[in-house]
Amino acid sequence: MRRIRAVRAGARSALEEALARLTEVRSMVVVAAAALREQNADLDADIARLLRRSVADGIAEQIERLRRL
Domain ranges (residues) in the chain: 2-67
Output the tens digit of pLDDT for each of the chain's 69 residues.
677 777 777 778 889 999 999 999 999 999 988 888 888 778 888 888 888 888 889 999 999 988 887
State if pTM tops 0.75: no
Q: Which residues of 1-16 are buried (b: 16+ CB within 10 A; e: fewer)?
A: eeeeeeeeeeeeeeee
What is the sign of the dihedral through the CA atoms of 24, 29, 30 and 34? positive
